[in-house]
């Protein structure tokens, strides 16, 4: 009708959009094909620059085109005078900036820019630093820009001091700046290094100084200032994680010394079990076993076929070499890769022997936070508790308090720790499984410590809401274990490290997998009442435990399997006391 | 989260599988063409998800293997797509795809070993059978012992 504005229908709009895209696609494809053709023909001319410019302007991630562009530019360099080359590359920098506007996180762009600066007769580092400032003001987390900044700083000799002030400014204007805090953590040890404890002071700060050998990498005076800075940040905004992570870094992490943790010898089994401080592949570690001064040719094997890397390894001694009870023997395991060894003496009349450092002495479970002075840790714990009074539901605060308490006194703070974990699960239910697993780990650590004080070989952790097992390599010499009334789902392959285990109680869990009950040479009695063992095949690995005579499977779905009693007596002929 | 009221609470596996199976045939799609620079990785991401869902057989194995062969360059490296330059990222993706298909030897394995010397490279070397290097899981691209230690297993989605 006359006078009416014609409004296009949605279908028409869709069709127009489709045609538009088809046009764009055609243009892209023809340009792309032209470029790739030129490249194969080895042409390095202005047209190549034009075509690649056209394509890269809308698709700066097409890396091959940047490669081609560099080939062309290098060729043109040979044909131009120095001042022309300067102009050529300066115009390239403008082009790259335009591409960065399309994708500020394009690997291709940033890499090309770095390359251009190596070709520029006179690079302008001030301008480059300015570009970084601008990009970071648009996106403080653009790691490409941070990396590029580090390149610029290095090439132009900007001082560490200046960069530290830069982080001061960024953090001061906005505490939530994970990248700035992170950058700060790399600058501080250069500007304020912790002097080496026993040797002469470091003359030139070396960023490669291994943190393993210092309890903190920053000198104490500066550390205290940094603690204050962190307090300001997390008191101002307790929900921002950046400052909390930085704070944990400050409190430090002690790396565990690499060593042989435990050597266990059994006369009856004529077997040696060795526990290492970390999982290893025994065949690649240069292990040597020396018995009474004589090196022995032995084959190392893992406790379970699925554990190709394991903290515990076994080997058999030549038959008869230690079986006579009236003989004393001295055993040494050499870990040649790490230049360390451990001795173990097997005395007359003793059926077995083991040698290990106590977890208490090693402060084994404190490596979460460093060997910072306890007075400092105590002061930090106080600060965090103050914050907790103001913000009782803050998960970062709760978790940090737990870690501080564990660093100070794991057993003394056990009750409080459990209470805090309970609160954590309520305020942060999305991570309740993580907290349950972490809590399980801490309870296991505490039980190991208590076991040591009592000097017994019984490990008891029933009714503790355990959701996972860990540190099983520390339980090499345990004879009795009680895991009843928890929430365990499986006895994983690592359970096979319990080489001395005689009795296992794991009633009232939700266990459906018994993979770890594998070749346990001393295991006699197993109770698994009220679990989730469903089929005969779930029990297969038990056949490898040759001393097993008592098995209680009452309250498991498997009892419904047809002919289960006869199947089990076939699978496990040595079991004389079976309860279903 | 605004979506919670109407979002499904189970994974719509069939729809996911259908989407990925159809994705490769979008040859005349603008965005698809523009992402050609990472095609090899895109294929890997699609295949690995289909494998987790037990639907790898829906993908065109022969076509993909021929594509990979066409992307290996004289230096041994593999490119994201035909005519593009070889790159570590896409060499690794190609090796991962071939591991999924148990067809590592369709490419020149000895040549591939040359460019590797980074973490990605080490993963690639392991998948190519280097015995000095720990076994690597091709789905997670992480060492098997790490997966064992943290108890992570690829769960077949069902």
Helix axes B119-127, B88-100, angle to 10 degrees: 30
The tokens describing A37, both together, are: 């053709």
Phi, psi of A225 (to 5 degrees): -65, -40
Pick the residue of B78, B83, B143, B155 with the most A CBs within 10 A to test the interface with A by mutation.
Answer: B83
Nearest residue, CB atoms, B148 vs list A28, A306, A468: A306
| A116: nearest Cα among A155, A160, A157 | A155
Do A376 and A370 contact (CB within 8 A), yes or no? no
Of B29, B85, B149, the CB nearest to A279: B149
Beta-strand relationship, A577-579 and B136-137: unpaired
- Chain A / chain B CB contacts < 8 angstroms: 49
- What is the distance between the alpha carbons of residues A102 and A98, in angstroms, rounded to a whole number? 7
Residues of chain B with pLDDT > 70: what percent? Answer: 83
- Phi-psi category of residue A475: left, alpha or beta, with phi > 0 → left and psi -120 to 50 → alpha: alpha
ipTM: 0.76
- Cα radius of gyration (chain B): 17
Angle at alpha carbon of residue A147, lines to A109 and A217, rounded to 5°: 170
Asked if residue B26 has pLDDT above 90, the reply is no
CA angle A325, A330, A335 (to 5 degrees): 135
Contact at 8 Å (CB) between A285 and A471? no
Q: Which tokens hold the place of A481?
A: 């274990």
User: From the list A22, A67, A308, which residue is nearest B85 (CB)?
Assistant: A67
Nearest chain A residue (CA) to B32: A25
- Give the nearest partner residue to A64 out of B29, B37, B144, using CB atoms: B37
Burial of A81 (0-12, 13-18, 19+ CB in 10 A): exposed
- pLDDT score for A11: 83
Contacts of B134 in chain A (CB under 8 A): 281, 308-309
CA–CA distances in Å: residue A18 to residues A111, A230, B105: 35, 54, 43
For residue B132, the chain A residue with the least C-alpha distance is A284
Is this structure's pTM higher than 0.80?
A: no
Please judge whether B148 and A309 are an interchain contact, meaning their C-beta atoms are less than 8 angstroms apart.
yes
Q: Which residue has the higher pLDDT, A429 or B114?
A: A429
Contact B126, B133 (CB under 8 A): yes
**A24 inside 8 A of chain B by CB:** yes
Q: How far apart are CA A494 and CA A261, in angstroms?
A: 16
pLDDT of residue A257: 80
Structure tokens at A566: 């006869």
- Per-residue pLDDT, A10: 81
Residues 125-154 of B with CB under 8 A from A: 134-135, 144-145, 148-149, 151
Q: CA of A147 to nearest chain B CA: how many angstroms apart?
A: 18
Are the beta carbons of B34 and A59 separated by less than 8 Å?
A: yes
Strand order in the sheet with A329-335: A294-296, A287-291, A329-335, A340-346
Pick from B34, B84, B145: CB nearest A64:
B84
- What would the two tokens of residue B125 be? 């070397």
Find the CB nearest B83 among A36, A307, A309. Answer: A36
Q: Is A66 helix (H, G, I), strand (E, B) or coil?
A: helix
Is 50 exceeded by the pLDDT of residue B115? no
Instruction: Judge contact between A177 and A242, C-beta under 8 A.
Output: yes
Give the Cα separation of A79 and A496 in Å (integer): 71
Encode B64-124 in three state secondary structure. HHHHHHHCECCCCCEECCCCCCECHHHHHHHHHHHHHCCCHHHCCHHHHCCCCCCHHHHHH
Statement: residue B154 has pLDDT above 70:
no
Structure tokens at A328: 């004393």
Provide, as residue numbers in chain B, all residues whose Cβ is less than 8 Å from the Cβ of A281. 134
Say what the pLDDT of residue B155 is: 64
Q: Do A63 and B33 touch (CB under 8 A)?
A: no
Residues of chain B found within 8 Å of residue A21, distances taken between Cβ atoms: 30
A340 near A263, Cβ under 8 Å?
Answer: no
- Has residue B6 got a pLDDT over 90? no
B30 touches chain A (CB under 8 A): yes
Model pLDDT, residue A204: 41
A211 in contact with B, Cβ within 8 Å = no
- B38/A contact by beta carbon, under 8 A: yes
Question: CB–CB of A512/A534 below 8 Å?
Answer: yes
Between positions 475 and 534 of A, the ones with CB within 8 A of B are 492-493
A535 touches chain B (CB under 8 A): no
pLDDT at A533 (0 to 100) = 97
Per-residue pLDDT of chain A (580 residues; tens, 9 = 90+): 566 666 667 888 888 888 888 898 999 999 999 999 999 999 999 999 999 999 999 999 999 999 999 999 999 999 999 999 999 999 999 999 999 999 999 999 999 999 999 999 999 999 999 999 999 989 988 999 999 999 999 999 999 999 999 999 998 888 778 999 999 988 988 888 877 665 444 444 444 333 333 434 678 888 889 999 999 999 999 999 999 999 988 887 666 788 999 999 999 999 999 999 989 999 888 899 999 999 999 999 999 998 888 999 999 999 999 999 999 999 999 999 899 999 999 999 999 999 988 777 666 776 556 556 788 889 999 999 999 999 999 999 999 999 999 888 889 999 999 999 999 999 999 999 999 999 999 999 999 999 888 888 999 999 999 999 999 999 999 999 999 999 999 999 999 999 999 999 999 999 999 999 999 999 999 999 999 999 999 999 999 999 999 999 999 999 999 999 999 999 999 999 999 8
* Cβ count within 10 A of residue A334: 18
Do A341 and A274 contact (CB within 8 A), yes or no?
A: no
Of A571, A496, A561, A489, residue with least CA distance to A532: A489
Q: Which of A539, A529, A487 is nearest to A509 (CA)?
A: A487
**DSSP H stretches of helix in A157-271:** 160-173, 178-191, 220-236, 241-251
Distance between CA A118 and CA A497 in Å, rounded? 56
A443 near A461, Cβ under 8 Å?
yes
Asked if residues A270 and A323 have their Cβ atoms less than 8 Å apart, the reply is yes
* Cβ-nearest to A279 among B34, B87, B145: B145
The DSSP H or E segment spanning B137 is strand B136-137
Q: How distant is the Cα of A58 from the closest Cα of chain B, in angstroms?
A: 9
Residues of B in contact with A32 (CB under 8 A): 36
Q: Which residues of A touch B144 (CB under 8 A)?
A: 308-309
Q: Mind giving me the DSSP string for A134-181? A: HHHHH-TT-HHHHHHHHHHHHHHT--HHHHHHHHHHHHHH-S--HHHH
| Residues 242-281, chain A, touching B (beta carbon < 8 A) | 279, 281
* A304 to chain B: closest CA residue: B148
Which chain B residue has the Cα nearest residue A284? B132
Distance from CA of B136 to the nearest CA of A (A): 12
Q: How many Å lie between the alpha carbon of A28 and the closest alpha carbon of chain B?
A: 8
Residue at token pair 């770890």 = A516
Query: What does the block give as tokens for A152?
Result: 């610029």
| Adjacent-strand bridge partners of A94 | none
Name the one residue in this structure whose structure tokens are 């399997």: A561
Tokens of A103: 């994708």
Q: Where are the alpha helices (DSSP H) in A254-394?
A: 359-362, 374-390
Measured between alpha carbons, how far is A321 from A329 in angstroms, rounded to an integer?
A: 9
Cβ–Cβ contact A52 with B under 8 A: no
Q: Does B87 touch chain A (CB under 8 A)?
A: yes
Question: Cα separations (Å) of A507 from A188, A306, A355, A386, A388?
Answer: 53, 26, 32, 42, 38
Residues B84, A24: C-beta atoms closer than 8 Å: no
């Amino acid at each position: 009708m006359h006078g009416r504005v014609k409004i296009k229908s949605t279908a028409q709009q869709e069709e127009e959009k489709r045609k538009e895209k088809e046009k764009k696609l055609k243009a892209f494809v023809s340009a792309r094909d032209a470029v790739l053709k030129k490249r194969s023909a080895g042409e390095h001319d202005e047209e190549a620059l034009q075509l690649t410019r056209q394509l890269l302007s809308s698709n700066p991630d097409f890396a091959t085109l940047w490669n081609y562009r560099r080939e062309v530019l290098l060729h043109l360099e040979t044909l131009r005078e120095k001042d022309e080359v300067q102009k050529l590359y300066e115009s390239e920098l403008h082009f790259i900036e335009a591409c960065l506007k399309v994708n500020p996180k394009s690997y291709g762009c940033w890499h090309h820019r770095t390359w251009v600066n190596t070709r520029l007769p006179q690079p302008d580092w001030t301008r480059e630093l300015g570009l970084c400032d601008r990009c970071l003001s648009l996106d403080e987390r653009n790691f490409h820009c941070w990396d590029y900044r580090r390149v610029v700083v290095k090439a132009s000799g900007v001082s560490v001091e200046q960069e530290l002030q830069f982080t001061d400014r960024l953090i001061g204007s906005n505490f939530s700046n994970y990248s700035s805090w992170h950058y700060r953590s790399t600058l501080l040890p250069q500007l304020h290094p912790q002097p080496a404890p026993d040797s002469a002071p470091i003359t030139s700060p070396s960023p490669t100084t291994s943190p393993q050998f210092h309890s903190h990498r920053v000198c104490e005076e500066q550390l205290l200032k940094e603690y204050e800075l962190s307090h300001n940040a997390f008191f101002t905004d307790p929900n921002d994680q950046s400052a909390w992570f930085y704070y944990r870094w400050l409190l430090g992490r002690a790396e565990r010394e690499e060593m042989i943790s435990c050597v266990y010898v059994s006369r009856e089994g004529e077997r040696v079990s060795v526990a290492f401080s970390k999982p290893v592949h025994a065949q690649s570690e240069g292990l040597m076993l020396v018995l009474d001064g004589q090196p022995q040719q032995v084959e190392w094997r893992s406790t379970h076929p699925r554990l190709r890397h394991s903290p515990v390894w076994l080997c058999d001694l030549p038959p008869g070499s230690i079986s006579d009870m009236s003989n004393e023997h001295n055993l040494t395991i050499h870990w040649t890769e790490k230049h360390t060894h451990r001795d173990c003496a097997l005395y007359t009349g003793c059926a077995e022997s083991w040698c290990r450092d106590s977890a208490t002495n090693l402060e084994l479970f404190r490596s979460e936070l460093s060997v910072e002075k306890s007075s400092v840790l105590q002061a930090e714990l106080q600060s965090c508790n103050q914050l907790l009074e103001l913000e009782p539901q803050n998960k970062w605060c709760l978790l940090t308090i737990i870690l501080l308490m564990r660093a100070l006194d794991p057993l003394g703070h056990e009750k409080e720790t459990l209470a805090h974990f309970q609160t954590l699960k309520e305020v942060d239910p999305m991570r309740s499984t993580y907290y349950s697993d972490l809590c399980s780990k801490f309870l296991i650590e505490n039980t190991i410590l208590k076991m040591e004080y009592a000097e017994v070989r019984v490990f008891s952790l029933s009714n503790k809401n355990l959701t996972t097992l860990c540190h099983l390599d520390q339980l090499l010499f345990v004879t009795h274990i009680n895991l009843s009334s928890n929430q365990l789902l499986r006895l994983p392959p690592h359970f096979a490290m319990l080489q001395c285990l005689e009795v296992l109680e794991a009633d009232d869990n939700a266990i459906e997998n018994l993979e770890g009950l594998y070749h346990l040479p001393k295991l006699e009695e197993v109770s698994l009442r009220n679990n989730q063992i469903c089929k005969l095949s779930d029990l297969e690995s038990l056949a490898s435990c040759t001393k097993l005579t008592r098995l209680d499977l009452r309250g498991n779905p498997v009892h419904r399997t047809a002919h289960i009693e006869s199947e089990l007596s076939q699978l496990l002929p040595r079991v004389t006391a079976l309860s279903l | 989260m605004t979506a919670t009221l109407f979002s499904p609470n189970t994974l719509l596996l069939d729809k996911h599988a259908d989407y990925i199976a159809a994705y490769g045939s979008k040859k005349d799609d603008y965005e698809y063409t523009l992402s050609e620079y990472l095609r090899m990785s895109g294929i890997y991401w699609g295949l690995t998800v289909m494998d987790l869902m037990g639907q790898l057989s829906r993908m065109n194995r022969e076509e993909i293997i021929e594509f990979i062969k066409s992307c290996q360059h004289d230096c041994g490296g593999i490119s994201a797509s035909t005519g593009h330059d070889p790159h570590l990222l896409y060499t690794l993706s190609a090796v991962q795809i071939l591991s999924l298909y148990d067809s590592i030897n369709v490419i020149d394995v000895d040549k591939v070993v040359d460019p590797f010397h980074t973490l990605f490279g080490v993963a690639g070397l392991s998948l190519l059978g280097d015995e000095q290097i720990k076994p690597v899981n091709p789905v997670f691209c992480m060492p098997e012992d790490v997966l064992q230690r943290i108890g992570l297993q690829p769960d077949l989605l069902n």
